[in-house]
Chains A and B, each alone.
Chain A
Amino acid sequence: MNVRIDTTAPTRRALSRPDPWCAATLLLGVLALAFPLGAATDEAAAIGWLDRPGSLVALLALLGGAGLGLARQAGVVRGLGPAGYGFVLLAATALAMATALDVVHDLGAAATRGFWLVVLASWLIAWRAVDGVAAFSVRDLRVQRAVDTVVPAVFGLTLLFLWEVLTVGFGVPQVLLPAPSMIGERIASSTGTLWADFEQTFLKAVLSGYVMGCTAGLMVAVLVDRVAFLKRGLLPLGNLVSALPIVGIAPIMVMWFGFDWQSKAAVVVVMTFFPMLVNTVAGLGAADAQQRELMRSYAAGYWQTLVMLRLPSAMPFVFNALKINSTLALIGAIVAEFFGTPTVGMGFRISTEVGRMNVDMVWAEIAMAALAGSAFYGAVALVERAVTFWHPSFRQRR
């Protein structure tokens, strides 16, 4: 592996001021030892560090990581770059967080200062670890890309960790905010329901509405571009339609197209049509004068010019609309289900389970919607990269 030499070696000035993350972690960690992990209850005595040797090991790992950082800075430890140190800290953080999760589920709301100080310390060390890993730079593009995904992953996992520890450790009522583990359990135990909802909302309503809306928008854009009076007549009208509030049109679509997915697809069509129309109309004008005159000099016909020049040069605009619409479509379908639906669908599930105080199920649906929406967007973005590889924003990656 060809790791670039780090030129940001600690300077004399930096030596005088110790790494704030490491120093704070050391301070907090040592302070944590002075407090018990869990408070005394009626049945049991306070839980100390020696009752939980695993916690002690985890805390020592954190302290070791912080100490190593200070030693690095002082020049006692050499040959460990910022990225390498980041990975060491990452390991310590993983151990500390895993242990903390284990402890907090045993203690519940009995967790006390000793525990919270360790959580704080592991958060600080996680921060410092990500800071180090983000500095990782290597020539091999595949390795670099893999490491680049570590940073957002650690970031997300740390958020989940804090969410879990805070909700369990402070005994937050699940109606307000269920712990991630609870949501995960709910997802695992109701895969059948979730799949049925996904099928109803995403596979039927969103996808069909998206395809119809985007196709119609594209075709009408070509028509509008061809027929001058439509450009002046239809575009302002389309603007009006796009300004319609979705909560207004959804009940009407339910009346027109019935309770099943067709009415939701209709809402999605209305929502996705206009962004595609406007973007494509703009895109069809994107080819520059010389590129057009070239076609003219070959006496190319309207359709030849459209297919060989104007549609390809409109593609960045078309994909812009496809990406906007991928998220709009999901929102539209879910919200539309609030206005009448058979007893299946993501929007239906959210509205009924919220009424029953089954908030974990609501969060499970939200998680699924987030996942499906991101995957959809990601898929469109991948196709975009393949189709508009020639656009300046993608060129350097080829």
Chain B
Amino acid sequence: MTPTAAPEAAPDAAASEAVPAPSAARASAAAGGGPVVRTQKLSLTFQTADGPVYALSGIDLTVEEGDFVSLIGPSGCGKTTLLRVIADLEQPTDGDIQVNGVTPHQARLERAYGYVFQAAALYPWRTIERNVTLPLEIMGVPQAERRARAAAYLEMVNLAGFARKYPWQLSGGMQQRASIARALCFDPDLLLMDEPFGALDEIVRDHLNEQLLNLWNTTGKTVVFVTHSISEAVFLSNKIVVMSPRPGRIADVIETDFPPDRDLDFRETQAFIDVAHRVRMGLRQGIADDD
């Protein structure tokens, strides 16, 4: 499969259960146009020493194939927890969740998603190239193909000349781009990004936002993106999920229909400002409920 291969649609594989090969898993996900992520009354309660914390409460969310969904909300609203439940890094205490039509656990074993953390989480003893090929090594991809793919994806995130460098020799923005290349290189159809640009300054963040949007346009991947920046959420997504805290729940879902080739200047347009306003109102409402 080539790095930019569009997800194939095999209509007869719709209900296929737990086929442990990545490509087959993808086929089952794409099959019949079923949602990539579907949650119903999803709840997660952490039992802590200070009593229960209701991180998620009655979440109903559907992410369709090819969506760019942003989860936005104040800290403590459960947006990262929701992403981690999708990634099978947390277990829900109630409700249903399906990823690619199977449980998150199965989806993880089928390597259905690439996860980008808040920090780059690169391994300092590996070069940038070998960090990017780490998932491929785990999946047993032969070395020649690993190197070819690393080269292609480093090129895509504009890090072509840095394959032989070590992570600590790169700036924070470059490290985060390398971690995105790592999440992309085994060609998952679903990208889960947890505030990937949160630690970067605004100029770098703007630049990476543009690159990410371009990437989404060219690859057609499904992205679930956690952020607390309104302009980032509105600029990138076609679906904005506004969340509010205590208990973590969905306050508003806004679907947008912006031109796919928008650039940063688009943020000055009235359409953008209107959506941003609605997001802000949703956030304010969530806070007001809390008080």
Contacts and interface: CB of A to CB of B under 8 A. Distances in A.
A390 B137 contact: no
- Across the A-B interface, give the 6 residue pairs with the lowest CB-CB distance, nearest first: A290-B121, A390-B124, A297-B115, A390-B125, A290-B117, A299-B109
A391 B166 CA distance: 11
Contacts of B115: 293-294, 297
A343 interface: no
Interface core residue of A288, A296, A298 (most chain B CB under 10 Å) = A298
A309 B123 contact: yes
Contacts of B113: 297
B6 interface: no
Interface string A283-296: 00000101101111
B123 A300 contact: no
A321 B88 CA distance: 37
A290 B123 contact: no
A304 interface: yes
Given A294-B117, A297-B113, A299-B111, A308 B166 contact: no
B168 A395 contact: yes
A389 B125 CA distance: 8
Contacts of B109: 299
Nearest to A295: B138
A308 B119 contact: no
Nearest to A388: B125
A315 B111 CA distance: 29
B204 interface: no
Given A299-B138, A308-B138, A315-B125, 17 more contacts: A290-B118, A290-B119, A291-B123, A296-B89, A297-B87, A297-B89, A297-B114, A298-B111, A298-B134, A298-B135, A299-B108, A300-B138, A313-B123, A313-B125, A389-B125, A390-B124, A395-B168
Contacts of B281: none
Interface residues of A, number: 23
A312 interface: yes
A295 B139 CA distance: 11
B137 A297 contact: no
B22 to A, nearest CB: 10
Contact of B134 (A290, A293, A308, A392): A308
A295 B138 CA distance: 9
Nearest to B124: A390
Interface core residue of A290, A295, A297, A315 (most chain B CB under 10 Å) = A297
Range of interface residues on B (Cβ < 8 Å): 20 to 34
Interface of chain B: mostly helix, strand, loop or mixed:
loop
Given A309-B123, A390-B125, A298 B138 contact: yes
Interface of A: 288, 290-291, 293-300, 304, 308-309, 312-313, 315, 388-392, 395
B111 to A, nearest CB: 6
B201 to A, nearest CB: 21
A297 B108 contact: yes
A239 B276 CA distance: 61
B136 to A, nearest CB: 9
A383 to B, nearest CB: 15
Nearest to B84: A293
Contacts of B118: 290
Interface string B87-120: 1110000000000000000001111011101110
Nearest to B135: A298
A312 B131 CA distance: 13
A252 to B, nearest CB: 42
Nearest to B118: A290
A391 B125 CA distance: 8
Contacts of A313: 123, 125
Nearest to B120: A290
Nearest to B194: A290
Contacts of B87: 297
B166 A390 contact: yes
Contacts of A389: 125
Nearest to B107: A299
Interface core residue of A309, A390, A391 (most chain B CB under 10 Å) = A390
22 contacts: A288-B121, A290-B119, A291-B121, A293-B89, A294-B134, A296-B88, A296-B89, A296-B108, A297-B87, A298-B134, A298-B135, A298-B138, A299-B111, A299-B138, A300-B138, A308-B138, A309-B123, A389-B125, A390-B124, A390-B125, A390-B168, A395-B168
Interface string B136-167: 01110000000000000000000000000010
A389 B169 CA distance: 12
Contact of B121 (A294, A299, A300, A388): A294
A256 B244 CA distance: 70
A95 B124 CA distance: 51
Interface core residue of A293, A299, A390 (most chain B CB under 10 Å) = A299
Nearest to B136: A298
B199 to A, nearest CB: 12
A390 B166 CA distance: 8
Contacts of B166: 390
Nearest to A392: B168
Contacts of A288: 121
Contacts of B134: 294, 298, 308
Contacts of A392: 168
A96 B290 CA distance: 84
Interface in B174-212: 186
